[in-house]
């Protein structure tokens, strides 16, 4: 009976799964080509663009920067200062204190001379109650608004409050502990302003790990590849996902998601789509899906764009426990999203979203960990029953390994073609070396944690919103203690 089962399994894996794997690899190859074309196009445009023009222009559209904060007392002051340094003529920074139990609010009130004000706004998106809205009496912080609200147990709820309070037609969504480049707003607004026949509803840019960078008062002074192995793997993964993946998808207007860490959105469409869903575990992707659904339902020609410039640095988890929690949540969010929007799968009514974006995410993001896991089980069974053709098995393993190395190497190359963020060879080698061991050490973790997320969702396990347990960034003086004394 076991051998009959294995025969069926063998037929399934040798035919269906092989074709599935091959299709995935071909898609990656296409993405690599498309992203290369898109990156080159971007660089050619950048070579003659003078962003200074927008800085003094009365025609620049207003942007609201929305950053929720929960128990960020340790770093909140430098985080807010960092957000107030954008080179842009018309913007406001909205910090939402999501019912912090530490001294986040008190610190901000004290540091920025805030007073509670009578602030009228239209709660177009329903949220947990707002306790108070604060503005600074110091003109230097005129752009700052701090909203204090009851804890909504989700970033989505806090961001929705920010959207309600915001004054401008575009909003930038970020995490308060992210470090953003001073040119973030001018770079991200550009795609909204240069599309000819489509309405751009969202733009995003590359994120990187801030773990080993030199930082001073919330500003990146020197970019370095992360030293901790886990953060370095994540940096590699982000480069591949943003520079190769999203740039490729952006070229054919099929971007599946704009990261919650950094994304600029058309407020009108976001509100009409219902804003962020506080019940979602992948609220950023969920919003994109609903925005796409809304514009397709209303026959609005739209685009979602990505640029290959790193504008945001975030602290990646360095402990396995925190990393597991993050990826489990992502896996859970993906499954939740796929189930909630299953009607979009291969539905021509939703255009590219229904025919490309959703099927890709379903088959190659959601199903991939399941297929991989089953593949491993199948291999183990074959070994137990002595049915492995070792030369062929090794060839297939080498095939998968070399291909994944190639795709990641191309991502590193594309990244180097753009701005050469790493100034030293050592940093390049640090990242490039991850390419060769990622599949053996990091990838299995991703698969296991994603499956854990799927299981949690199917078993309806209660999710607790754990804190990220950030270690905080080392200020430049801490990184180089000798520099201060010499």
Partner 1 sequence: MWKDLADLLFQAYEQFSLLPLFIEIALAFIFIAILSTLIAYSAILYRRYKGYVYDKRLAFISPKIEDLITEQVLLNPNLGKDLPIEDIEFDQEALNDKIYRKPFVRQMMIDTLIQYRKNFRGEVGELLRKLYIDMGLEKDSFAKMKTLRWERKIKAVVELTQMDISISDVTILPLTNSGNPALRAAARNAYIQLSKNEPFKFFDIATEPLLPWDQLEMFKIITTTKDIAIPNFSRWVSYSTNKSIVSFCLKLIAHYDQQSAIPAVMDLLANKDHYYRADAINCLGKLSAEVAEEKLVKIYNNQPLNCQIEILKALGRIASGKQLEFLKSEFLYSSNFDIRMNAARSIIKHNTQNSRMMVEELMEMTHEENQLIIKHCLNPLIKY
Separation of alpha carbons 140 and 167, rounded Å: 19
> Binding pattern to partner 1, positions 398-437, x when CB under 8 A?
xx--xx-xx--xx-xx--xx--x----x--x---x-----
On whether the CB atoms of residues 235 and 431 are closer than 8 A, the answer is yes
Separation of alpha carbons 260 and 274, rounded Å: 16
What is the distance in angstroms between the CA of the first residue and the CA of the last residue of the chain?
76
What counts of helices (H) and strands (E) characterise the chain? 20, 12
If the CB atoms of residues 60 and 289 are measured against partner 1, the closer one turns out to be 60
In whole angstroms, the minimum distance from the beta carbon of 467 to partner 1 comes to 32
> Binding pattern to partner 1, positions 13-42, x when CB under 8 A?
-x---x---x--x-----------------
Among 1, 2, 118, 462, binds partner 1 (CB under 8 A): 118
CA nearest to 210, candidates 93, 305, 82: 82
Q: Is 60 in the site for partner 1 (CB under 8 A)?
A: yes
Q: Is 484 in the site for partner 1 (CB under 8 A)?
A: no
How do 91-98 and 144-149 pair as beta strands? parallel
Among 74, 368, 396, 451, binds partner 1 (CB under 8 A): 396
Q: Which positions ≥6 away from 96 have C-beta within 8 Å?
A: 66, 67, 68, 69, 146, 147, 149, 158, 159, 161, 162
In whole angstroms, the minimum distance from the beta carbon of 309 to partner 1 comes to 16
Q: Is 258 in the site for partner 1 (CB under 8 A)?
A: no
> Binding pattern to partner 1, positions 173-202, x when CB under 8 A?
-----------------x-xxxxx------
In whole angstroms, the minimum distance from the beta carbon of 82 to partner 1 comes to 21
Separation of alpha carbons 350 and 292, rounded Å: 8
If the CB atoms of residues 1 and 59 are measured against partner 1, the closer one turns out to be 59
Q: Is 390 in the site for partner 1 (CB under 8 A)?
A: no
Separation of alpha carbons 27 and 25, rounded Å: 5
Q: Is 236 in the site for partner 1 (CB under 8 A)?
A: no
Separation of alpha carbons 387 and 390, rounded Å: 9
Q: Is 378 in the site for partner 1 (CB under 8 A)?
A: no
3-state helix, strand, coil in the chain (%, to 5): 55, 15, 30
Q: Is 117 in the site for partner 1 (CB under 8 A)?
A: yes
Residue 388, CB-side half-sphere exposure with 13 Å CA sphere: 17
On whether the CB atoms of residues 251 and 34 are closer than 8 A, the answer is yes
Among 1, 120, 459, 484, binds partner 1 (CB under 8 A): 120
CB atoms within 10 A of CB 53: 11
If the CB atoms of residues 92 and 266 are measured against partner 1, the closer one turns out to be 92
Among 136, 212, 280, 476, binds partner 1 (CB under 8 A): 136
Q: Is 57 in the site for partner 1 (CB under 8 A)?
A: yes
If the CB atoms of residues 101 and 196 are measured against partner 1, the closer one turns out to be 196
Residues interacting with partner 1, by CB under 8 A? 14, 18, 22, 25, 44-45, 47-48, 50, 53-54, 56-62, 92, 115, 117-120, 122, 135-137, 142-143, 167-168, 190, 192-196, 392, 395-396, 398-399, 402-403, 405-406, 409-410, 412-413, 416-417, 420, 425, 428, 432
């Amino acid at each position: 009976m076991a051998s009959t089962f294995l025969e069926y399994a063998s037929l399934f894996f040798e035919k269906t799964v092989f074709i599935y794997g091959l299709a995935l690899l071909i898609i990656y190859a296409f993405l690599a080509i498309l992203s290369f074309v898109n990156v080159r196009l971007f660089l050619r445009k950048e070579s003659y663009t003078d962003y200074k023009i927008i800085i003094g222009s009365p025609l620049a559209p207003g942007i609201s920067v929305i950053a929720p904060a929960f128990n960020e007392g340790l770093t909140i002051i430098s985080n807010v200062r960092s957000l107030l340094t954008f080179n842009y003529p018309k913007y406001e920074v909205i910090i939402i204190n999501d019912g912090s139990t530490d001294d986040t609010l008190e610190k901000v009130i004290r540091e920025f001379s805030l007073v509670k004000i009578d602030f009228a706004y239209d709660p177009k998106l329903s949220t947990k109650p707002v306790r108070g809205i604060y503005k600074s009496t110091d003109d230097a912080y005129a752009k700052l608004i701090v909203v204090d609200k009851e804890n909504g147990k989700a970033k989505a709820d806090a961001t929705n409050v920010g959207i309600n309070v915001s004054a401008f037609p575009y909003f930038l969504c970020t995490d308060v502990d992210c470090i953003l480049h001073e040119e973030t707003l001018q770079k991200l607004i550009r795609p909204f302003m240069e599309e000819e026949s489509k309405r751009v509803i969202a733009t995003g840019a590359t994120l990187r790990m801030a773990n080993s960078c030199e930082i001073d008062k919330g500003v990146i002074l020197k970019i370095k590849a992360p030293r901790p192995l886990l953060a370095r793997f994540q940096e590699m993964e982000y480069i591949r996902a943003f520079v190769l993946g999203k740039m490729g998808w952006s070229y054919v207007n099929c971007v599946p998601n704009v990261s919650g860490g950094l994304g600029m959105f058309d407020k009108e469409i976001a509100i009409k789509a219902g804003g962020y869903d506080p019940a979602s575990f992948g609220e950023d992707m969920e919003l994109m899906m609903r925005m796409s659904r809304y514009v397709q339902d209303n026959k609005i020609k739209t685009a979602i764009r990505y640029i290959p410039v790193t504008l945001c640095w975030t602290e990646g988890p360095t402990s396995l426990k925190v990393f597991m929690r993050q990826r489990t949540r992502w896996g859970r969010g993906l499954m939740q999203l796929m189930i909630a929007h299953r009607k979009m799968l291969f539905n021509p009514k939703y255009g590219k979203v229904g025919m490309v974006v959703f099927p890709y995410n379903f088959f190659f993001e959601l199903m991939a960990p399941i297929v991989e896991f089953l593949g491993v089980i199948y291999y183990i069974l074959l070994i137990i029953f002595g049915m492995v053709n070792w030369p062929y098995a090794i060839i297939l393993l080498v095939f998968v390994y070399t291909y994944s190395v190639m795709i990641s190497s191309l991502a590193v190359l594309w990244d180097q073609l753009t701005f050469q963020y790493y100034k030293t060879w050592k940093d390049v080698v640090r990242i490039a070396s991850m390419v060769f061991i990622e599949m053996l050490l990091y990838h299995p973790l991703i698969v296991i944690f994603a499956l854990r997320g799927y299981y949690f969702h199917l078993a309806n396990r209660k999710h607790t919103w754990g804190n990220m347990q950030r270690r905080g960034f080392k200020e430049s003086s801490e990184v180089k203690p000798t520099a201060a004394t010499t």
